[in-house]
Amino acid sequence: EARAFRRFRIGTQEIVVLRDGDGVLRGFHNSCRHRGSILCQPESGRLRGKLLVCPYHQWSYALDGELVATSSMREAPDFDKADFPLYPVAVQEWRGGIFVSLLDDPPDLASGFERGSDRIDHWPMESLVVGHRWGKVMQCNWKVFWENFNECLHCPNIHPELCELVPIYGRRISGVRDAPDWQEHADRDDPKYAGGLRAGANSWSSSGQACGPTFPELTPAEISRGQSYFVSLPSVFIACHVDYMRTVRILPTGPEQTEIEVEWLFQPETLARADFDMDDVTGFAKLVMQQDAEASEMNQQGLHARRFEQGVLMPEEHYVRSFQDWVREQTGS
Ligand code: FES
Ligand code: FE
């Protein structure tokens, strides 16, 4: 809606995103051009008027960021308000989500998704509503979190419940072809070899049952897989199921601290169902994410050993290798 705003942090940076009077999305550093105070104090809401007013000395800004008025009785002759607009940040809208980049030359969002954002086309993301939010602060570096995300060697002992729902994970692999002998099992439809969810289950929930109707555009393959992941490094992954979606935002808050912010997205008619059981849907992923958080923290602690210089990757960890290659590429190291 016009004049709606929300503030949040990217690392140490306070950001405010808002829609101006015409509904155009804008993003700014949440910092006044006078002496740098925070401009927007509430977390989110709707501005009453057409101006953003600094709570410190009441400088006021139009919603496109232009400085409209100071509170001084007299301005110096060489003072020009046009020289003091809010510092803008790049914002992009995609499928009902808002992405913010602090780079002057922001990356193209769609191509930021591994293997293409079009793979998510069959999920009606923009028409879904947020039914539940949950977050967690983990005592680990963000790269430790992503390394853990990228392998399933840890699955049987860290995630017994998940391995029951997704039997191939019980073999410490995430894809059919990760097994050296996969060709010998190529015609078996047992999910332990073929992937997909256990017999009788159709979604990620404690009961294994979907909480609402299947999204109508999904292909038979997307339905039988039961789960699809879309990753945009380094800040988000989206888990897609036949009946709902889950977005996970990964936010480094310190060298050894990472916050995750999770949202569960549903069709409005799913939330309206009399028999809808939120805990059945959200409890399962929370359990898995808690287990991953503990594993990542455990990994982080061990990295402090004075003698530890580097680890070693096994064949099943090829996605960890890809992730490390991506980090090297981004950092030029
Ligand atoms: Fe904002 Fe002074 S710091 S008006
Ligand atoms: Fe895990």
The mean of the pLDDT values for the chain is 94
In a 10 Å sphere around its CB, with 0-12 CB exposed, 13-18 middle and 19+ buried, how is residue 297 labelled? middle
86 close to ligand 1 (CB < 6 Angstrom): no
Percent of residues, the chain, with pLDDT higher than 90: 86
Tell me the pLDDT tens digit for each residue of 230-268.
Answer: 999 999 999 999 999 999 999 999 999 999 999 999 999
Tell me the pLDDT tens digit for each residue of 263-301.
Answer: 999 999 999 999 999 999 999 999 999 999 999 999 999
- Centre of ligand 1 from the C-alpha of residue 89, in Å: 20
How far, CA to CA in Å, does 64 sit from each of 2, 49, 50, 51, 299?
Answer: 12, 13, 10, 9, 45
pLDDT confidence bin for 172, thresholds 50/70/90: very high
Does residue 117 register a pLDDT over 90? Answer: no
Atom of ligand 1 nearest to the CA of 58: 4
Does residue 124 register a pLDDT over 90? Answer: yes
Q: Which residues are bridge partners to 238 per DSSP?
A: 230, 247
pLDDT confidence bin for 333, thresholds 50/70/90: confident
Q: What pLDDT sits at residue 285?
A: 97
List the beta strands (DSSP E) in the chain: 4-10, 13-19, 25-29, 44-46, 51-53, 60-62, 67-69, 88-94, 97-101, 129-138, 228-232, 236-240, 244-254, 257-266
Three-state secondary-structure class, residue 210: coil
Q: What pLDDT sits at residue 53?
A: 96
pLDDT confidence bin for 114, thresholds 50/70/90: confident
Does residue 111 register a pLDDT over 80? Answer: no
The pTM score is 0.91
Q: What pLDDT sits at residue 113?
A: 78
Q: What pLDDT sits at residue 157?
A: 97
Does residue 199 register a pLDDT over 90? Answer: yes
Tell me the pLDDT tens digit for each residue of 300-317.
Answer: 999 999 999 999 999 999
57 close to ligand 1 (CB < 6 Angstrom): yes
Q: What pLDDT sits at residue 15?
A: 97
Tell me the pLDDT tens digit for each residue of 4-50.
Answer: 999 998 888 999 999 999 999 999 999 999 999 999 999 999 999 99
133 close to ligand 1 (CB < 6 Angstrom): no
* Angle of helix 142-149 versus helix 278-302 axis, rounded to 10: 120
Q: What pLDDT sits at residue 223?
A: 95
Closest of 74, 43, 69 to residue 54, by C-alpha: 69
pLDDT confidence bin for 192, thresholds 50/70/90: very high
84 close to ligand 1 (CB < 6 Angstrom): no
Conformational region of residue 50, where left means phi above 0, alpha means psi within -120 to 50, and beta covers everything else: alpha
Position 43, amino acid: E
pLDDT confidence bin for 204, thresholds 50/70/90: very high
pLDDT confidence bin for 110, thresholds 50/70/90: confident
pLDDT confidence bin for 175, thresholds 50/70/90: confident
59 close to ligand 1 (CB < 6 Angstrom): yes
Atom of ligand 1 nearest to the CA of 39: 1
69 close to ligand 1 (CB < 6 Angstrom): no
Spatial separation of the C-alpha atoms in residues 23 and 301, rounded to whole Å: 47
Q: What pLDDT sits at residue 251?
A: 93
Residue bearing the CA closest to ligand 1, atom 2: 57
R_g of the chain, CA atoms, integer Å: 23
In a 10 Å sphere around its CB, with 0-12 CB exposed, 13-18 middle and 19+ buried, how is residue 285 labelled? buried
pLDDT confidence bin for 72, thresholds 50/70/90: very high
Percent of residues, the chain, with pLDDT higher than 70: 100
